[in-house]
Amino acid sequence: MKGLIFTLAALSAYLVSGWNPSITFSKLIYKKDIRTCGSKNPGFTNFRRCFGDKFAWYVFVLDLFKAAAVVAVFAFLLSKYGVDHQFAAAFTGVFAVLGHAYPIWYGFKGGKGFLVSLSVIFVIDWRVGLIATLIMVVLLLTTKYMSLSTVTALLASPVIMILFDTALPVVEITTLTVIFVAIRHKENFKRLKNGTESKFCLKAR
């Protein structure tokens, strides 16, 4: 039974997180594909730049909670079979991030995975998620670069976990996950180096 739940956790996380609200909203509301607009990334930041604030924050909330919900459910179920809650969340979270990055629903072309990763970290340990969010906010307010802020916050998360005595397998899984997300920001890093990366404005159009 435990093996079956692990399998269902992986499959469900992949499929649920594969749904991308920015792609859905851009097509249904604006009759455009977000993957052809701006930076072409189907995520909150690019959606906001292309279409403004009106529906962007719906994208933000849905991206954040779609993964958190499925990860939390299966972490709870697996914990009933003696699996460590944090390990179950980290395991399920890997497939949530992969589903968001390579969604079967959209030809395996998805987002970079920051919000999904952050939501998984909150399920693993809300204290780590909160500190990572604070790091992101402080950097965003000082540098105005969303990519730099988000990636730094994610990469800091495994270190914060160690400070909270998180089990090593959970730290290792989280480290691999956030490195994967960081690598998916490589084009942002190139633009940061070249001085062409767009800055985040508190008020969009």
**Where are the domains positioned within the chain?**
2-194
pLDDT tens digits, one per residue of 113-154: 999 999 999 999 999 999 999 999 999 999 999 899 999 999
- Which DSSP string corresponds to 143-180? H--HHHHHHHHHHHHHHHHHHTT--HHHHHHHHHHHHH
pLDDT tens digits, one per residue of 43-78: 888 898 889 888 988 999 998 899 999 999 999 999
- Which DSSP string corresponds to 36-66? GSTT---SHHHHHHHH-STTHHHHHHHHHHH
In this prediction, residue 3 has a pLDDT band, given cuts at 50, 70 and 90, of confident
CA–CA dist 129, 93 (Å, integer): 14
pTM of the entire predicted model: 0.90
pLDDT tens digits, one per residue of 87-120: 999 999 999 999 999 999 998 988 899 999 999 9
pLDDT at residue 112, as a whole number? 92
